[in-house]
Amino acid sequence: MATGNALAASTESAPTTTASTAALDVRGLTAGYGSLAVIHDVSFSVGRGEIVGLLGRNGAGKTTTLMAIAGFLGGYGGEVLVDGRALTGPAHRRSRGPVGIVLEGRSVFPSLTVRQNLGLAQADVDEALGLFPELTPKLPLRAGLLSGGEQQMLALARTVGRHPSVLLIDELSFGLAPAVSERILERLRAVAEATAVAVLLVEQHLHFAASVVDRALIMNEGVVRAELPGPELASREQEVERIYLGGPDAVVAPT
């Protein structure tokens, strides 16, 4: 059986992103709820056009990391930079600037039409429909009448249509059929390559992440324990699961 040390060795050859090429640079971030710190000294970067997966079981600290970057949580330490500039202020200010956020649970306005949802975000409608042509006949419909997959497509298209530098996505595959998830992830890859947006994808399901991420950061107990290339996720599933569960040989720091 492979060990955590074997996984550590794989990180030495993993592609890295330097501060000069990073669209998103997270440095020593510690954050949580009230007086309780949930994530500790988290550091990583995401390059332009790169998709980085933040993986781990429930309670590992993935969503807390994303929420802290997005500005929903106050940080206790560290800093977040976008395009080399410190990212500050509350979530609504960050989301109007260089950061796009797609939250878990179909973050659309159900009483508004698809066209109105896109317009409210000042998204490019033609670009959104080019990303997801399935939405074209749905433009006059209220978003609440769409299927779960269509709502997730709308949420992603609406956010990408604002042309952010950084795209934060929480559990894109949540509650979706595998075929729908794969379709959306394929379009996410196309978006990253075409627009050079830096994508941080929080995901619990390893096989979905393996199909799209360039690099994977594995979290447990609020700490990034390992980093490895996305294409290695499927073949090293047992080692990754050991980190998910926090076994004694699973504490592997990223390079």
pLDDT in tens, 41-98: 999 999 999 999 999 988 899 999 999 999 888 778 999 999 999 988 777 777 777 8
pLDDT score recorded for residue 91: 76
Q: Are 22 and 46 in contact (CB under 8 A)?
A: yes
Q: Which CATH architecture has domain 4-17+46-73+88-245?
A: 3-Layer(aba) Sandwich (3.40)
* CB-CB contact of 211 with 220 (8 Å): no
SS3 64: helix
Burial 72-94 (b: 16+ CB within 10 A, else e): bbebbebebbbeeeebeeeeeeb
What whole-number distance in Å separates Cα of residue 2 and Cα of residue 238? 8
Report the run of H or E that residue 99 belongs to, with start and end: strand 99-102
CB of 73 closer than 8 Å to CB of 32: yes
Q: How confident is the model at residue 109 (pLDDT cuts 50, 70, 90)?
A: very high
Average pLDDT over residues 122-126: 86
Mean pLDDT of the 100-121 span: 88
Amino acid at residue number 154: L
Structure-token pair, residue 230 = 């996305």
Per-residue pLDDT at 138: 96
Give me the amino acid identity at 173.
S
Q: Could you give the percent of the chain with pLDDT greater than 90?
A: 47
Flag whether pLDDT at 249 surpasses 70. no
Confidence category of residue 242, pLDDT binned at 50, 70, 90 = confident
φ/ψ bin of 95: left (φ > 0), alpha (ψ from -120 to 50), beta (otherwise): alpha
Q: How far apart are CA 47 and CA 196, in angstroms?
A: 8
Close Cβ partners of 14 (under 8 Å, ≥ 6 residues apart): 215, 227, 228, 229, 255
**Distance, CA of 126 to chain centre:** 24
pLDDT band at 240 (very low <50, low <70, confident <90, very high): confident
| Contact yes or no for 91/72 (Cβ under 8 A) | yes
User: In residues, how long is the chain?
Assistant: 255
Q: What is the pTM of this model?
A: 0.85
Cα separation of 25 and 44, whole Å?
Answer: 6
Mean pLDDT of 144-166: 91
Mean pLDDT (the chain, rounded): 84
